Structure formats: structure tokens, C-alpha cells
Amino acid sequence: MDSPTRRAFLEKLSIFAVGGVAAASVPNALARPDSEPHILFPAAPRDRISIASYPFRAYIVSPDNRDRDSSLPGMNLFDFPAHVAEKFKIHNIEPHNRHFTSTQPDYLDEFRKILQRTKVRVVNIAVGAAKSFYDIDADARYDAVAYAKKWVDVAVRIGSPGIRTHIATARNSSPDVERTAESLRQLVEYAAGKNIVVTLENDDLVSEDAFLLVKVIESVNHPYLRALPDFGNSMLTGDADFNYRALTAMFQHALNICHVKDGEMDDDGKQFNVDLKKSFDILKASNYAGYCSMEFDASGEPYGPTSRLIEQTIKFLS
């Protein structure tokens, strides 16, 4: 059961976030917390492309990066913006939260200076999670919300318009729409006060099933909670028709970010291929105008495949 202290704290925090103090941190902030997000998207196909740091996880040096391969050349997140601009001629990035060395203000302020110097924007932060939004234990749900709020604050500090929050599995419960929606309402009210969009990705076949996410988004019914359609994650069911139905459902609720890939590999190394033309046809039919983040996710080096994804994305968006 949720403690009175924590309930009171959450109520006060929600009031503070929606009120003038939090909103004042964003120029021309929202007059109402449920108004539409203020994001201006570029129109040119190349300008809509972002590079996710996740495909380059083996190269990135950070304390929380469990995927670093020390046999490969290393770089930290400060190096990533210039690296992307030089290698791919792209000026939008989507860093994973495990690739941040720190979340202290001085680190984040230095990162923002690097972004300004390299003329690179962070268009989204992919945020993992340890605690579940639908855990039966109210304290665990509280911790999940608090952790995601921390990354909303990081997004504000570095100028990102959004975060993707992971919905972790819970050992004590199957996915639950009502508990997930209740938790996310608290997060989204906080994020809306800072003009930060929260997205949910079809990243896990159980806790983040695309059709489950749609139910959660429709239950919360807030313009600052949106879908992040991933072209390939739902293909891991082995059912191509399911993947494209999932993608269609997700794009009906997308706004600012999607993940482009031409395939996905499961934990056993089996490769599932994605029909890129069909996926982009679904994207265009939904009138999606946001960013397309390149997220090659298979074995082997990511540079060549990422370059090919960029070329194909430009072709299909043109």
C-alpha cells in the first residue's frame, strides 16, 4: 500500500510541476498542462534523420554501459555529436541514458555546450528502467516514476524535446493497463509542465506489447504521452503481419520520434527482416512529421548499415 508520506509528496510534486515555477523554466511554456507539445519539426528528409547511440554501444565508454567492447576504439558521449556529424553528415542524435557518464549539472551543461558548438541536437533520450510502472508494490511504482522524472529534468537541461521511458517487467505481476496508466499520468503531468514529450516504445513483447501500449496511451489520454514506433521490435514474434499491424497502431499515436531499422535479431541470433517500403508507407499514411532515428540492431559493425539506412530513409521520405 502506498504510504501517506509518498502520496502527499506526489500530490505536491504534481502541483509544483504544473504550476508556474516549473513552467517558467521553459520560455513560452504551456498555458495549460494538457495543451499540445511545442515542437517544430524540420521538413527536409535528411534533417528529419537522427542517429541513436544504441547501435554504437560497443564503442561508448560510460560507467553504466554494459555493452562496451574494450577491443574496439572507445568514445564517450561528449565525442558522439561530432562523430555523428563527421561520419554521417547528420545533426540530430538520440543518446541512450546508459551512455551518460553523469547527470550532474556541470556535466550536462558541458554536454549542451558541445551540442551547440557542433550544431547537433538531441531529439530524444532513450531511458531504461529497473522498476516497473505496473508493479503491485506502490513503492516500486513510485521509484519508477521518480527515475523517469529525473530524465525529464535531464532533457530540459540539454535541450531535448522528449524522453522514451522503458516499461520494465514486474516479477510480481503481469502487465496491467490501469496501474501503468496511473503511474504514467503522474510522470506526464510533470513532463508537460516542462514541455517534454514522454514516449513508449514497442521494445519488449511482454511489458511493451504495441497494442498494450496503445491501451495505456488511450487510457492516460494526454497529448504529452505518445508512441515511439519501432520498425522491427514487434517482428520478434515471427509474425510479419503482426509487426505491421503493431506499427500501424503505434503510428496513430506517434508525434516526435520513431526507430528505423531493416531487421531485428533475437537473443538466439535469428534475424528477422523488415520491409522498409511497407514500413514507410505506414509512416506516411499516418501523416507522421517527426524524427526518424536510425537504430541498426544486429551483429557486426554499425557504420555501413547505418549509412545504408540513412540513404533508404531519405529515399522513402522524399
What residue ranges in 229-305 does DSSP mark as E strands?
A: 257-260, 263-265, 271-273, 291-294
Q: Which residues make Cβ contacts (< 8 Å) with residue 153, sequence separation at least 6?
A: 194
Position 9 pLDDT exceeds 50: no
* Contact between residue 170 and residue 132 where contact means Cβ atoms under 8 Å apart: yes
268 or 41, which is more confident? 41
Position 18 pLDDT exceeds 60: no
- At residue 35, the pLDDT reads 84
- Mean pLDDT of the chain, nearest integer: 91
φ, ψ at 123 (rounded to 5°): -100, -10
* Contact between residue 154 and residue 193 where contact means Cβ atoms under 8 Å apart: no
What does the alpha-carbon distance between residue 106 and residue 121 come to, in Å, rounded to a whole number?
Answer: 18
What does the alpha-carbon distance between residue 219 and residue 225 come to, in Å, rounded to a whole number?
Answer: 10
pLDDT tens, position by position, 203-223? 999 999 999 999 999 999 999
Domains of the chain: 4-21+44-317 (3.20.20.150)
- At residue 97, the pLDDT reads 98
* Contact between residue 188 and residue 198 where contact means Cβ atoms under 8 Å apart: yes
Pairing of strands 125-127, 162-165: parallel
Pairing of strands 263-265, 271-273: antiparallel
What does the alpha-carbon distance between residue 10 and residue 170 come to, in Å, rounded to a whole number?
Answer: 22
- Of all residues in the chain, the percent with pLDDT exceeding 90 is 86
Query: Is 247 buried (19+), middle (13-18) or exposed (0-12) by CB count in 10 A?
Result: buried
Position 239 pLDDT exceeds 50: yes
- At residue 21, the pLDDT reads 31
- At residue 34, the pLDDT reads 55
- At residue 267, the pLDDT reads 87
pLDDT tens, position by position, 23-73? 333 333 333 445 889 899 999 999 999 999 999 999 999 999 999 999 999
318 or 19, which is more confident? 318
CA 244 to chain centre: 20
- Of all residues in the chain, the percent with pLDDT exceeding 70 is 89
